[in-house]
Chains A and B, each alone.
Chain A
Amino acid sequence: MGLLSKKDTKLITDPLADNNPITIQVLGICSALAITAQLKPSIVMAISVIFVMGVGNIVISLMRNIIPSKIRIIVQLIVVATLVIIVDQVLKAFAYSLSKELSVFIGLIITNCIIMGRFEAFALGNGVWRSFLDGVGNALGYGVILIIVGFFRELLGSGTLFGLKVLGDSVEKTGLYAYGYENNGFMVLPPMALIVVGIIIWIQRSRNKALIED
């Protein structure tokens, strides 16, 4: 990549694996899990967070020298809230049923700890371009976990992907269902989101021993 120096590339690739915001930094789980019962809302959520974090980091980084440090949390919250309102209105205009499905969880991007965490830890002390990359990188790391969880929960829970019946029809007993395969209805319920993330953490930490907590 000619556009990005080695250090900048690291800003994007690090959060995807070894410094993942969800599995390692434990941030932003709040709004992440409830909407992963299907793949489509997971992807929409990931895109919304990428937008909010990228733009938010730019704005905060631009204002970093004029924000009084005592009220910086309120300023950050207002910036995020404005961006989230934009996302919410766009979703309402172009994908109304999806925005109904995501209900309050779009609003909860505001209090997504990844965003506040990155503002505090990075955007307040770094330049615009690097802050933007850091924001996009962390949001991508968040999105990757969301999409993995959404993929498995939809595939195993309802036998579909994006609503397409990839495993055959469970009512007419075609495809896999002809051989006696059954959907695991449990995967659709909220507790399984936690357990799937737990398993992702397990796999990731068994592969990279350096991440193990003592």
Chain B
Amino acid sequence: MEHLELFFKSIFVDNMVFAYFLGMCSYLAVSKKVSTAVGLGAAVIFVLMITVPLNWLLDQYLLQEGALSWLGEEYASYDLSFLSFIMFIATIATMVQLVEIIVEKFSPSLYNSLGIFLPLIAVNCAILGGSLFMQSREIETLGLAFNYGISSGIGWFLAIIAIAAIREKIRYSAVPPALRGLGITFIITGLMAIGFMSFGGMLTGGDDAPKAEDKTAIIKNEIEKETEDATETVSLVVDLTK
């Protein structure tokens, strides 16, 4: 359940592009054709899937306050979290390079379709953003970190495919000359983001329901207490009158 909630939340509610504007540069630059957009989107999912869990491990066992306690008691008080930017970006850059080499070796056809985009990805804010959000939201287990990586990648993938499809169609429309190209893309993305905001209500229902129950339970308790008090005072009064 926790997994499912995180999955849908990171795809729709906390969508990388529409809620946080992460990876906008490549989003705008590579969204002229659907086929290239698919390539880049797939590469982003792939790299996020690897780097987020890796950085989670780094964060848990190296960077967080008290993370070094596995080395021994005297290391427990170290807090290296100020190094997290440099560690995360180094991991991402090396992973991207590694993935490029491995893919080239074992699957030339995949390499040909992803190849050009892989080096671009090292400087895609969505990748670093994924790791930084993973850290700031204190995701608890490795499984959840893995889930978060994949689902936010899918969210980004959806966004870039949607805008690429719209941009292919919009070529046939009469856009005001000054808005052509970049301007209209910005405005369309804004409108799409407004659409995606409606997903915000999707998950709050689940959170609210138990809270409402809690409230009624509290009220019930209070009423019971009050009635108890009342009966007590009544019995007191009865005793007094006797």
Interface positions of A (Cβ within 8 A of B): 23, 26-34, 73-74, 77-78, 81-82, 84-85, 88-89, 103-104, 107-108, 110-113, 116, 189-195, 197-199, 201-203, 205-206, 212-214
On whether the beta carbons of A34 and B123 are closer than 8 Å, the reply is no
Tell whether A198 pairs with B183 under 8 Å between CB atoms, given A30-B125, A111-B124: yes
Residues of A within 8 A of B97 (CB): 74
Tell me, rounded to whole Å, the shortest Cβ–Cβ distance linking B182 to chain A.
6
Chain B contact surface mostly: helix
Instruction: Please indicate which of the listed interface residues B22, B178, B179 has the most CB atoms of chain A within 10 Å of its own CB.
Output: B178
Closest-by-CB residue of A relative to B93 is: A74
Q: Which of A29, A112, A194, A201 contacts B179 (CB 8 A)?
A: A201
Within 8 A of A (CB), among B1-39: 18-25, 28-29
CA of A74 to CA of B90, assembled, Å: 7
Given A189-B194, A201-B183, A212-B178, 11 additional A-B pairs, CB 8 A: A29-B21, A78-B89, A108-B22, A108-B132, A111-B124, A190-B193, A195-B191, A197-B186, A202-B178, A203-B178, A205-B177
Residues of B within 8 A of A195 (CB): 186-187, 190-191
Instruction: Please indicate which of the listed interface residues B19, B23, B25 has the most CB atoms of chain A within 10 Å of its own CB.
Output: B25
The 10 A-B pairs of least Cβ separation, nearest first, read: A213-B181, A198-B186, A194-B190, A30-B125, A191-B193, A205-B178, A195-B190, A104-B132, A198-B187, A29-B24
Chain B 122-150, CB-CB to A under 8 Å as 1, else 0, gives: 11111111001100100000000000000
Q: Is B119 an interface residue (CB 8 A)?
A: yes
Residues of B within 8 A of A88 (CB): 82, 85
On whether the beta carbons of B125 and A191 are closer than 8 Å, the reply is no
On whether the beta carbons of B23 and A30 are closer than 8 Å, the reply is yes
Q: Which of B20, B29, B123, B178 contacts A26 (CB 8 A)?
A: B29
On whether the beta carbons of B186 and A113 are closer than 8 Å, the reply is no
Residues of A within 8 A of B123 (CB): 73, 77, 111, 113, 116
On whether the beta carbons of A85 and B86 are closer than 8 Å, the reply is yes
Residues of A within 8 A of B136 (CB): 103-104
Interface size on B, residues (CB 8 A): 50
Residues of B within 8 A of A202 (CB): 176, 178-179, 183
Q: Which of A23, A26, A103, A206 contacts B25 (CB 8 A)?
A: A26
On whether the beta carbons of A104 and B187 are closer than 8 Å, the reply is no
Interface positions of B (Cβ within 8 A of A): 18-25, 28-29, 82-86, 89-90, 93-94, 97, 119, 122-129, 132-133, 136, 176-187, 189-191, 193-194, 197
On whether the beta carbons of B190 and A78 are closer than 8 Å, the reply is no
CA of A192 to CA of B190, assembled, Å: 6
Residues of A within 8 A of B24 (CB): 29-30, 33
Tell me, rounded to whole Å, the shortest Cβ–Cβ distance linking B163 to chain A.
11
A/B interface sample: 22 pairs, CB < 8 A: A26-B25, A29-B25, A30-B21, A30-B24, A33-B21, A73-B119, A73-B122, A85-B82, A108-B22, A108-B125, A111-B127, A190-B193, A191-B193, A192-B190, A194-B21, A197-B186, A198-B190, A203-B178, A206-B178, A212-B178, A213-B180, A213-B182
CA of A110 to CA of B179, assembled, Å: 30
Tell me, rounded to whole Å, the shortest Cβ–Cβ distance linking B199 to chain A.
13
CA of A46 to CA of B190, assembled, Å: 23
Tell whether A113 pairs with B197 under 8 Å between CB atoms, given A107-B132, A205-B178: no
Residues of A within 8 A of B128 (CB): 107-108, 110-111
CA of A184 to CA of B101, assembled, Å: 51
Residues of A within 8 A of B25 (CB): 26-30, 113
Q: Which of A26, A111, A191, A193 contacts B197 (CB 8 A)?
A: A191
